[in-house]
Structure 1
Amino acid sequence: MCLSNRRIADELRRRIAEHDWTPGERLPSRTQIAQECGVGENVVRRAQELLISQGVLEGRAGSGTYVAAPRRRVRMVRSTAREQPEGFPFRADMKAAGKQGDWESRTEAKVQAPTEIASRLGIAEGNLCVRTVYEFLADGRPVQLSTSWEPYVLTGGTLVVLPEGGPHAGAGVVNRMAEIGIVVSHAVEQPEPRQANAGEASLLGIQKAALVTHIRRTYYSDEGQPVETADIVVPAALCEIVYEVPVSR
């Protein structure tokens, strides 16, 4: 985004902070704002789009742009220390926020690994994987997406081949791998902000190009072997990511 767009976005944000416009109030037209700020309407449009993606403004089709009502973001704690037998960290996070946590999933076995996933799992491109797509729900509303990949060579023919099926359904990567003698020692997560694509925006009920946190997570065995990798997508306006770091004594 160019400096002019950022300057106008900062000016709009300032006026909201100083209560020139209050939550639920409709902003003046882009033409009026452009004239007041001495810029083109396209600059104002792009500035408003940025603030919409950040949850500061909201667009209403056929009506205009409004100041978004403040809302408390759901806290999601990321920590391998939370991996416990019979434990469901997502449900615990939702319970702490006073919400009912649940998820829906769809698994496909023997899917060929694309280039990036193969690299993250340390396998050859095209090797077979078990892919599971998740929608995590808070009070029935999607608040997180995840696509998980596990090498089929590790779990094929075992009772844990389906992450959400069989006797160990929903037990999580750490507990399921333990059932087949694989000790998961740690996970590596790489979070980065980006804009939601059309599919993600539709599933999460947010605007296209809204800000999300994209986390690339990979679980490793105690022998350093990647056993699962996932792409986790969390809408920034709805959720905050908190990392809990265990301290050894």
Structure 2
Amino acid sequence: MREQPPYLRFADVLRKRVEGQEWMPGERLPSRAQLAQECGVSEGVVRRAQEALIEQGVLTGRAGSGTYVAEYRQRVRLVRSPDRERAGESPFHVDMAALGKRATSETRTDGMVPAPPDVAARLDISEGDYCVRTTYEFLADGKPVQLMVSWEPYSITAGSLVVLPEGGPLAGKGVVRRMAEIGITVSRAEERPEAGHADAEEANLLGIQRGALVMRIRRTYFSDDGRPVETADIVVPTAHTEVVYEVPIKP
């Protein structure tokens, strides 16, 4: 069996010391130089070990301050299922209500944004066609747990009361409910999850380390005639969020 790299062996050492409560949640660890001298390893090994434990949610880094034991934070359960879509509310708010948590979000909508090539392909429109783009930061009890950028073809909702996803009488009701208001039945959603690492902006917004593990979900809603009506890029930090897919089984 291949031997573990030195930094992973040292990460196990640090993890056991944290689990043994040598350092308590919120407490600052000794400097990398101190740990390296104490344990007989290089500072590079200490750095990589700490980065691995930060990705796992055991430690947390603070710019210019050092490395700390992460405060306990229960992972938030996000359910992807047809029932969430039929609820007539934002699926995120439904999930948080089920957990007894207060769901809030910070949003920004930009109207008539030219569709970049990848978005145009996903929405089956021409590159440069106008879209309504909305960015979201979702929070549970005030802590960030999900990011999302949503794109809707402007040609679908232009002139209607639902042209702004977070404005008007159906603000925050979700794509399915809003599209129904203008006579469009959303009958299918396609999601493509894949593992990734947080970039600098995502890390800052989610309160995690740059490079930490995240799940990226590319979601597209389709009307009953097969037309894409919305597509979104969703990012959730794996250390703080558990994504669960419920698949209905017909007898």
TM-score with structure 1 setting the length: 0.86
The residue that corresponds to 1:96 in the other structure is 98
Candidates 140, 143, 146, aligned match of 1:144? 146
Which string of whole-angstrom CA distances, capped at 9 and with x for unpartnered residues, describes residues 82-134 of structure 1? 11254333223222333211222211111011111112112221111110111
Which residue is 2:74 aligned to? 72
TM-score by length of 2: 0.85
Name structure 2 gaps, 5 residues minimum: none
**Superposed counterparts of 1:31-50, under 5 Å:** 31=33, 33-34=35-36, 39-50=41-52
Match of 2:209 among 207, 210, 217: 207
Structure-1 residue corresponding to 2:191: 189
Tell me the SS of whatever aligns to 1:83: helix
- In structure 1, the partner of 2:133 is 131
Q: Is the 8 A contact 1:168 1:176 kept in 2?
A: yes
Identity within the alignment, %: 64
- CA RMSD in angstroms, aligned pairs only: 2.5
Q: Deviations over 1:148-189 (max 9, x none)?
A: 001112112222211112222222111111222222111111
Summarize the alignment of residues 23-38 of structure 1 with structure 2, pairs less than 5 Å apart. 23-24=24-25, 26-31=28-33, 33-34=35-36
Runs of at least 4 residues off by over 6 Å: none
Which digits, 9 at most, give the CA deviation of each residue in 1:10-61, with x for residues without a partner? 44335545x2745435545434554677653213202211211221112345
AA aligned to 1:128 is Y
Q: Residue type of the partner of 2:210?
A: K
Question: 1:134·1:146 contact (CA, 8 Å) conserved in 2?
Answer: yes
Structure 1 spans left out of the alignment, 5+ residues: none
Contact kept in structure 1, 2:89 and 2:172, CA below 8 Å: no
After superposition, what is the alpha-carbon deviation per residue over 1:196-237, rounded to whole angstroms, capped at 9, x for unaligned? 222222222223223222211111122222111101111222
